[in-house]
């Protein structure tokens, strides 16, 4: 039996009585039970605001089209806007960006929208740094912002590094060199910038043409060699990447001499060939040598015989390890005590002083 009482125009009190036959699992018998129920019925004529996804035409989409000067895809206050670029939201009438590159769509319903930038409306050469079609969900939020990045200029960017292998090829672990000045020159153009802490630099808003990029030698670290920079050709909306190597000056100087334990006399050996890391130098008349432009790392060195050597005679050699910073090694002394070895190392046989019992060995 059901009983209903109308409390208000939209509210009812509902009660119900019913008899039910249930099974008692403890006594394993069927039992008769009376069930009483009480509740309310509420009539709703309009859907509540919290159940409505759209919530009316109170959504707004805004944003701007900007010159992405640092080519990172993010709009920054210092990056100027681009005017007269067409933006469209779904089937809405496209709007053109204003002088600051801004656009806005108002009175939109809640929901998901696809926003498009018309690339056909962009004048001149360009590249985009953001997607040209972006989906925005305005189901819960009332405002959405979308920015479109464009590169409509040429850019030169690069890195200055320690060319520790002396081969003008940047290694993955090559140390960056910072705080040096970079010069960019072209026809009627001279611009300069400082390298940042990561060794990187960039020049924006370049007109098409030919340019030279160099490190200003006066700003290079002490005892680093500055190499001539590259010449590059810049075309519209192109990004040119250059790498500028600086080489730490590493050198090794010393003498090659002939001496014996018994005589105690040192004789300079002239015209002895010394190979270090593949570079060969020759001692002068005083037995002195100097090797420049050595790379960093473990370097093999050895004396180079000018004549065949007899069995049992060893040619001096070894491994020299140099760091990546500038290095000036002086006072290196390579002593030869075997006269047979000295004879095959130099074109001029050394004159050995004679003692009371003949030549001293």
Distance of CA 183 to CAs 151, 157, 197, 234, 360, Å? 23, 12, 18, 16, 64
pLDDT at residue 13 in the model: 66
Strand 86-89 vs strand 112-117: parallel, antiparallel, or unpaired?
antiparallel
CATH for the 154-248 domain, from 3.40.50.2300, 2.60.40.10, 3.30.300.130, 2.30.42.10: 2.60.40.10
Helix (H) or strand (E) holding 340: helix 339-345
The domain 51-151 having CATH identifier 2.60.40.2250: the answer here is no
pLDDT at residue 11 in the model: 73
Strand 250-259 vs strand 327-336: parallel, antiparallel, or unpaired?
parallel
pLDDT at residue 321 in the model: 96
d(Cα 317, Cα 221) in Å, to the nearest integer? Answer: 33
Question: What is the CA 246 to chain-centroid distance, rounded?
Answer: 19
The domain 250-359 having CATH identifier 3.40.50.720: the answer here is no
What is the pTM (predicted TM-score) of this model?
0.61
* Mean pLDDT of each 10-residue bin along the chain, 361 residues long: 68 67 62 65 56 68 93 91 94 92 94 94 88 94 94 90 96 96 95 96 89 97 96 88 97 92 81 93 95 95 92 91 96 91 81 52 38
Helix (H) or strand (E) holding 343: helix 339-345
Strand 239-248 vs strand 154-162: parallel, antiparallel, or unpaired?
parallel
The residue ranges of every structural domain in the chain are: 2-42, 51-151, 154-248, 250-359
Q: Are 332 and 254 in contact (CB under 8 A)?
A: yes
Nearest one of 92, 93, 136 to 112, comparing CA atoms: 136
The 3-class SS string of 31-99 reads: EEEEEEEEEEEECCCCCCHHHCCCCCEEEEEEEEEEECCCCCCCCCCCCCECCCCEEEECCCCCEECCC
């Amino acid at each position: 039996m059901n009983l209903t009482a109308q409390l208000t125009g939209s509210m009812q009190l509902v009660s119900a009585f019913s008899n039910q036959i249930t099974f008692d699992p403890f006594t394993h018998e069927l039992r008769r039970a009376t069930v009483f129920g009480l509740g309310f019925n509420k009539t709703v004529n309009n859907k509540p605001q919290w159940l409505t996804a759209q919530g009316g035409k109170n959504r707004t989409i805004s944003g701007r089209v900007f010159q992405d000067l640092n080519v990172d895809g993010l709009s920054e206050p210092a990056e100027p806007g681009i005017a007269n670029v067409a933006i469209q939201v779904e089937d809405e009438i496209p709007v053109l960006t204003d002088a600051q590159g801004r656009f806005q769509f108002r009175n939109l319903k809640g929901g998901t929208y696809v926003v498009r930038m018309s690339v056909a409306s962009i004048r001149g050469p360009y590249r985009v740094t953001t997607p040209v079609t972006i989906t925005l969900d305005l189901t819960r939020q009332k405002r959405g912002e979308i920015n479109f990045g464009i590169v409509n200029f040429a850019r030169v960017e690069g890195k200055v590094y320690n060319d520790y292998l002396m081969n003008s090829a940047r290694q993955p672990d090559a140390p960056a060199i910072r705080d040096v000045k970079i010069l960019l020159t072209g026809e009627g153009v001279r611009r300069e910038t400082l390298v940042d802490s990561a060794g990187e630099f960039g020049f924006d808003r370049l007109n098409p043409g030919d340019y030279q990029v160099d490190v200003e030698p006066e700003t290079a670290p002490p005892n680093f060699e500055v190499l001539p920079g590259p010449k590059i050709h810049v075309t519209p909306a192109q990004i040119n990447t250059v790498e500028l190597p600086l080489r730490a000056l590493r050198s090794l100087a010393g003498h090659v001499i002939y001496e014996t334990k018994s005589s105690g006399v040192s004789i300079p050996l002239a015209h002895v060939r010394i190979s270090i890391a593949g570079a060969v130098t020759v001692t002068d008349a005083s037995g002195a040598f100097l090797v420049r432009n050595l790379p960093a790392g473990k370097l093999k060195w050895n004396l180079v015989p000018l004549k065949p050597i007899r069995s049992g005679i060893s040619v001096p050699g070894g491994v020299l390890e140099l760091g990546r910073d500038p290095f000036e090694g002086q006072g290196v002394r390579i002593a030869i005590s075997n006269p047979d070895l000295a004879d095959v190392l130099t074109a001029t046989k050394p004159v050995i002083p004679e003692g009371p019992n003949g030549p001293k060995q």
